[in-house]
Amino acid sequence: MKVQKLFREAPQSPNLLEPFVSWQEISPRFEEKRFDDCYLLIADISEDNFDSLVGIFQSREEAMGAFLTVAMEQGWEEVPETYCVYHAQEVGGKLVAGLMFDGQISTYEQTTVEQMVQVMAKLHRVVVYSYDVVTYIKDIYPEIDQKVFVLARRVAKVLGRAPELEELAKIYCMPLQSLEDKLRLIDRLLENPVRTPYGEVNIPPFSYPVVDCE
């Protein structure tokens, strides 16, 4: 299990941070990375550490779940390993949304969008190009802000501005007629460097935090 958290200043004694100081049975290996104007601290915890807690908890998995719950209450998150690409648009006044997960694309309409949200909820990250598409589902899935990775924000943070998807489609020589085309292009943009009309830019992996540091 790996958990991560952003800090404004580099922690001097990570093992004395919560929740680790209260869970003395576990021995994390810490890794620190510079990220924007923050410090990203990653704690790698062997699953074997939780075996000593069996008795207090019914199983290793239950102990890990309890620890993760406490860690999340302290502002940590499990290091993301899974993601989906999400895009949406209005067609004839009706919402049409799409998800790309593990290379497979599924589309949803207004009446089935809650099924899409159920898929999102099982994954660590939701990758979008622009935050605009999040507004379509924000009312039924407010938690999305905690896991949405916005590519345009990352590009603009480096270059000062971000192009439209239509401009990027020309650069990447990819079609952009359908919703499926847009999902494939957005997924392609996760590969560094991202090529734009204003130059190339390297963006962090989707697994990096999407919240600001404390």
pLDDT-based confidence at residue 169 (cuts at 50, 70, 90): very high
CA–CA separation, 72 and 90 (whole Å): 35
CA–CA separation, 6 and 66 (whole Å): 21
Place of tokens 């290996």: 29
CA–CA separation, 65 and 191 (whole Å): 32
Check residue 36 and give its pLDDT. 82
Using alpha carbons only, what angle is made at residue 54 by residues 53 and 58, rounded to the nearest 5 degrees?
Answer: 130
pTM score of the predicted model: 0.90
Check residue 86 and give its pLDDT. 98
pLDDT in tens, 55-109: 899 999 999 999 999 999 999 999 999 999 999 998 888 899 999 999 999 999 9
Kindly state the percentage of the chain with pLDDT values over 90: 91
Please state the domain extents for the chain: 2-78, 83-201
Report residue 172 as tokens. 């990447």
Check residue 35 and give its pLDDT. 86
* Segment holding 119, helix H or strand E: helix 113-121
pLDDT-based confidence at residue 214 (cuts at 50, 70, 90): low
